[in-house]
Chains A and B, each alone.
Chain A
Amino acid sequence: MNAPKKQLVLTNRVGIPDSHTLAVYQKTGGYSKALSKTFSQTPDGVIEEVKNSGLRGRGGAGFACGMKWSFVPKNTGKPTYLCVNADESEPGTFKDRLLLEKDPHQLIEGIIIACYAINCHTAYIYIRGEFDLSYKRIHKAIEEAYAQGILGKNVLGKNYALNVYIHRGAGAYICGEETALLESIEEGKGQPRIKPPFPAVVGLFGCPTIINNVETLSALPFILSEGATAYKKWGTEKSPGTKLFSVSGHIQKPGVYELPLGYSLKKLIEENCGGMTAGKKLKAVIPGGSSVPILTAKDVETMMLDYESAIAHGSMLGSGGVIVMNEDVDMVWALKNLTRFYAHESCGQCTPCREGTGWVDKILYRMLHEGGTNEDLNLLTDISHNMMGKTICVLADAMAMPVLSYIKKFPDDFRNHFRRTGSSPRAKVI
């Protein structure tokens, strides 16, 4: 994996040998200033600092982190839980894996800060089953932290107890959805829950629960030690700080890049990533993981990597998974690859999603292998509209939005797959 080029908040240790060990973490300032600042103020003070930093959830939704924490009710008589979402499975995204493998102690320090802020004494790290090295690294890091009294009955002698457990997933994209993640821990089958009630009020085991992404938590040590103002030095007014972007596809230097929010997407592709491979032209970019609407080469010219600019360009920043495609890519083929993914990963709970993902995938299969018609495009559009906003979670939307955007932005690719007049009538549905 390529080391990020700019070292800012999250990736400062990535290039250092043995960056995953406690010794290196402490030698480079870990478990020191940030924790003493944390424990020297009230939990509300910590929440206020994080609110001031403007840190937004880095899992995909971009919800304000401090705000989310402030939703946890106080004095319920129930325990509060923190669940760390390390179930990174959004196609095109591989940033959390880097943080877990290279800097697990930064995450643990972030967990301690978050738990103190929300008065939580038990945290679960939900890690995707495939991440074996990440699992080993975080497991070892937790052991080291317990042995040094950084975790356990009396965290750093501050009279604060915190236990951290790892819960391994077993291969299901849907478990990255926060309520599915809770179900996966509680009952086993990761099927999302209806909201409200929101997990902050009724979450894990019926108790107040905060679910935060690995990258969000990993930013906390910096914010606490250097202060909200230092964090806001980077980024834009509404999207402060830095974010990790996972770049893949037809570019010279794929990898994880830590950039200030508001950075130019074109510059990321052309300068940081060294441009396209094999001298090909850029055709399309998915800016935030496979679930967000696609961009054309023209959109890329003006799009900035922040939440607001992404929306202004008809897409979303999502998880920051940037997939770059060159002029040779048939967008029907690309979309078909993704619809198979969503059809495979639908949890099967809601009819519009279970049936919709399957039918869209079958229609695209037919278009790709046997030719399609204009009627197919209407049908794909119709099915997509009947999926969006009609299900318990947003997996249905996560497929419908790409479908609608691919058709809108690359209509010629679809027309290239139309059957010629006089060819065989509608072929069999497989």
Chain B
Amino acid sequence: MLFQFNAQNQKKFEELLSHYPTKVAALLPTLWLVQEQEGNISFEAMEVVANLLDVSPAHVYSVATFYTMYHLKPVGKHHLQVCRTLSCALMGSENLLEHFKNKLKINEGEVTPDGRFSLCAVECLASCGTAPAMMVNETYHENLNVQKVDQILKELK
């Protein structure tokens, strides 16, 4: 079945269009809306978005792949994004990332077989004063250490 917005998101989409003098300017927020509804952004959805905004599917693809936060493939129920940039690295984020890999038995960019967790390393989350930090979906977790992340994993069902 072709992708389409549910009634609530269709309304949100129309509201978004009113924010800009051109249709294409609503591309980033429209892709966010697709991801909010579907969990990830499929090629089919990109084609639908292209039609909605009067641009080519190639243009939508070039934008969706330019950014790191749009998921082109499904991610885990809990998407772990571990900061690896300097301030976090100084405070031990490399060890943390290794710990996740060993514990979840997956590499960066992979999902656990049960679909619960996916893991990736990300660049600076602007959480340098509370390093090391990570995001689980959209929630920040800061001042981490191995014990703390084990506890977090345990609590994420």
Contact = CB atoms under 8 A, between A and B. Distances in A.
Contacts of B122: 130, 171
Interface stretch (A19-27, A247-255, A421-429): A247-255
A129 B66 CA distance: 13
Interface in B41-98: 59-60, 62-63, 66-70, 84-87, 89-91
Interface stretch (B4-12, B99-107, B131-139, B147-155): B131-139
B63 A188 contact: yes
B34 to A, nearest CB: 12
A249 B87 contact: yes
A325 interface: yes
A173 B68 CA distance: 10
A91 interface: yes
A165 B16 CA distance: 9
A170 B127 CA distance: 17
A170 B67 contact: yes
Contacts of B139: 132
A290 interface: yes
Nearest to B30: A188
Contact of B63 (A89, A130, A189, A249): A189
Interface residues of B, number: 41
A247 B90 CA distance: 13
B141 to A, nearest CB: 12
A351 interface: no
A172 B28 contact: no
A337 B86 contact: yes
A178 to B, nearest CB: 17
Given A188-B63, A337-B85, A167 B28 contact: yes
A188 B61 CA distance: 10
B25 A169 contact: no
Interface in A305-329: 321, 323, 325, 329
A188 B59 contact: yes
A89 B123 contact: yes
Contacts of A130: 69, 122, 125-126, 135, 138
A97 B87 contact: no
B18 to A, nearest CB: 9
Contact of A186 (B19, B25, B31): B25
Interface stretch (A338-346, A376-384, A389-397): A338-346
A170 B62 CA distance: 13
Contacts of B63: 187-189
B64 to A, nearest CB: 9
Interface string A199-217: 0000001000000000000
Interface string A244-287: 00111110001110000000000000000000000000000010
A41 to B, nearest CB: 30
Nearest to A97: B126
B87 A92 contact: yes
B128 A169 contact: no
26 contacts: A1-B129, A89-B124, A90-B124, A91-B85, A92-B86, A92-B87, A131-B126, A167-B19, A170-B28, A170-B32, A171-B69, A171-B122, A172-B67, A184-B28, A185-B28, A188-B27, A188-B62, A188-B63, A205-B25, A246-B129, A247-B129, A249-B87, A286-B86, A337-B84, A337-B85, A341-B85
